[in-house]
Amino acid sequence: MFQKYLTKTFLLLARYAAEPEDSEEWRIKKITFVSVALGAALGWLGFGLLYLTLNERTIGLFTISGFILIVLSLIGYRIYRRYTLLVYFGVIVHTLGITIIHLLLGGFVQSGMVIVWILISPMLLIVGYKPHHGLIMMLVVAIIFPLVAILQPYYLRISNNIPPNVITALFVVNTLGVATYMILAVYYFVWRNEILSKLVFGEQEKSEALLLNILPKEIVAVLKNENRVIADQFDSASILFADVVNFTPMSARMTPTELVELLNEVYSYFDTLVEKYGLEKIKTIGDCYMVASGVPRRRPDHALVLTMLALEIRDYVNKNEFHGHKLTFRIGLNSGSVVAGVIGKKKFAYDLWGDAVNTASRMESSSAGGSIQVTEATYDLIKEEFVCDPRGTIQVKGKGEMPVWFVMEKR
């Protein structure tokens, strides 16, 4: 019930204090200032009535006048929406008013240390307006305190009508009241810092997760900690290309949504296999899927694990239908030296270059549907672990005659 009441009060203050176009920071600042101003108005009214009952008529009426001025400023803000004017008018009324009450009551002791309330002014400027303005106001307060102390012997009154026990009570109330405001201000800053820290940490996690979806974790670490061109030579790695046979005529018979959903289903499963074997998906180009092994993490079994991935891809596709379509993939593998790195500043991607990459692509394009074709370089690395059927020599664009093999199964 109490929480519901607080929520309702906060929403009312938000509608009164803030504008729809305000940023979240200024929205909180305005709500904070208006809340403190309302509290201050009630305080001025309460003290004014107290002074009247204690036979301090002039001071009581003066204090109630301060209450009226603060209320009028809040009403004026509701009409004209000039927040800066509200802030400075409220701070000036509060600071001057408290100083005058201190003087009229006879100084530090006789007033029950009412002057400590001017410490609220710089605090309120810091949390409710602009921090550097609050520091300037603190300098003003630091001048007022010693000044009123120096002038203490020359006050028009050295005593008042307030009983000693009430003065003692006022000292306690004033000190605790200002201390409460200060503690709330510190709590406010701690609370905001926790919220901002969580937001910043959350955004960092989102950014890192996004980067990890695009780039290998080793490359993400380099991007975060080093300012250099990312390009590395790998003397021994393996590359796989997989492509749907007769994709163009099939796609012409499908709606765009159906086409994307089909590819997403197939390649999402491929992604799980890539993660299972600790490999690196490089990219998809249309219906072509590219994976690398041995980059950016060097491993001696790069050709073996990539061949295992190729067999799982082939078997998965052969056993299943996707949105009513039976797919056939051509798969090609090659092993050799590659260069891996990141290109560009925007929409960057981790990619591979080199003759080994081009040859792997040729292995895919010249392969038979439902088959895994490998070069001699890959065959030499996997022949002890996999059954391979020699296809013979084929003409490869840019390479001439090359001996190739079909991978059949694991031994």
Distance, CA of 175 to CA of 281 (rounded, Å): 66
Annotated catalytic residue 391: no
Catalytic-labelled residue, pool 29, 281, 330, 362 = 362
**How do 231-244 and 329-343 pair as beta strands?**
antiparallel
For residues 371 and 315, the answer to whether their CB atoms sit within 8 Å is no
- Residue that the structure tokens 């009450």 belong to: 101
CB 167 within 8 Å of CB 54? no
Catalytic residue check, 362: yes
Residues 106, 155 contacting (CB under 8 angstroms): yes
Residue that is written with structure tokens 């009441």 in the block: 5
Cβ-contact 350, 342 below 8 angstroms: yes
Q: Of the listed 397, 399, 410, 411, which one is catalytic? A: 397
Pairing of strands 329-343, 372-375: parallel
Q: What positions carry a catalytic annotation? A: 362, 397
